[in-house]
């Protein structure tokens, strides 16, 4: 059976318009857009996804800095390292453009902020963030029992210390493998209680356009506010290449319909 006869036009259209991950994520598929230290109750971060997250997708967030070879303090027997680790799980599909805060709750997802990471005494907990210098990394991992020790893929990094350096303390850290400043990492020039990306920087944009905007420190507002990093939505549109493929699919569908008459 040929591919053209087995894949209907409607299916081609749906596939091209979707930005579904439904598989392993890569750097820049998610990004941090909010940071709150010294919050009202606990510290928080918020992130946006640029792809649809399938039910069962698990993300890990840590404020352990990267030493150049590992996350500081993370060992085979210490899953949360010198600082903290929290886990996010999509219960239902999370559509591209959704912004989620670590202190928000929904039937569509769940945060693990307690309970053992794996064997041993390490436990999940809300990140304990510093207003004088901090870094947060989002990861995916195939190692569910010790997720940031091995088997992980770094997806995005937030750093407000104005420079990357080897992690030797809770306020230092470099970029984990695969991350690039400006596209899968943002480096702010000053530490503060609050750092929020200006969601009005773009009215809509492709994944690459949004990542470039988020990766530009000039598009962030920092200050002494204590409001929690919250949730919301941005408009993520397909890249021009996807639209071109959609147009081609439309031509194929049109010809097939004429040929069937």
> Given this model, what pLDDT does residue 248 score?
57
C-alpha closest to that of 186 among 164, 201, 206: 164
DSSP lists the bridge partners of residue 160 as none
- Between CA 52 and CA 81 the distance in angstroms is 30
User: Residues 55, 90: contact at Cβ < 8 Å?
Assistant: yes
Which tokens in the block code for residue 111? 């945060």
Q: Which helix (H) or strand (E) covers residue 140, if one does?
A: strand 135-141
User: Residues 65, 135: contact at Cβ < 8 Å?
Assistant: yes
Each residue's pLDDT tens digit, 207-249 = 999 999 999 999 999 998 887 888 999 999 998 876 555 555 5
Each residue's pLDDT tens digit, 50-60 = 999 999 999 99
User: Residues 54, 90: contact at Cβ < 8 Å?
Assistant: yes
> Given this model, what pLDDT does residue 4 score?
32
- Mean pLDDT across the chain, nearest whole number? 86
Phi, psi torsion values for 231, nearest 5 degrees: -115, 175
DSSP lists the bridge partners of residue 58 as 89
> What's the whole-model pTM score?
0.85
- Count the Cβ atoms, other than its own, within 10 Å of residue 20: 15
């Amino acid at each position: 059976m040929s591919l053209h006869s087995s894949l209907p036009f409607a299916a081609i259209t749906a596939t091209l318009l979707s930005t579904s991950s439904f598989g392993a994520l890569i750097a820049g598929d998610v990004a941090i857009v909010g940071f709150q230290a010294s919050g009202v109750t606990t510290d928080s971060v918020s992130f946006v996804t640029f792809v649809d997250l399938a039910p069962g997708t698990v993300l890990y967030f840590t404020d352990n800095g990267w030493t150049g070879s590992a996350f500081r303090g993370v060992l085979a027997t210490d899953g949360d390292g010198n600082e903290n680790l929290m886990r996010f799980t999509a219960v239902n599909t999370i559509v591209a453009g959704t912004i989620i805060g670590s202190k928000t709750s929904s039937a569509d997802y769940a945060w693990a902020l307690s309970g053992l990471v794996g064997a041993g005494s390490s436990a999940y907990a809300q990140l304990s963030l510093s207003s004088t210098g901090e870094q947060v990394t989002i990861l995916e991992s195939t190692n569910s029992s010790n997720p940031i020790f091995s088997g992980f893929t770094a997806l995005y990094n937030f750093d407000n210390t104005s420079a990357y350096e080897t992690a030797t303390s809770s306020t230092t850290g470099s970029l984990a493998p695969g991350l690039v400043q400006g596209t899968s990492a943002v480096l702010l020039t000053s530490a503060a209680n609050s750092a929020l990306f200006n969601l009005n920087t773009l009215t809509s944009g492709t994944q690459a356009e949004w990542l470039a905007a988020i990766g530009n420190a000039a598009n962030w507002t920092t200050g002494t506010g204590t409001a929690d990093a919250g949730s919301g939505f941005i408009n993520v549109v397909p890249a021009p290449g996807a639209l071109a493929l959609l147009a081609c699919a439309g031509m194929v569908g049109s010809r097939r319909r004429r040929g069937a008459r």
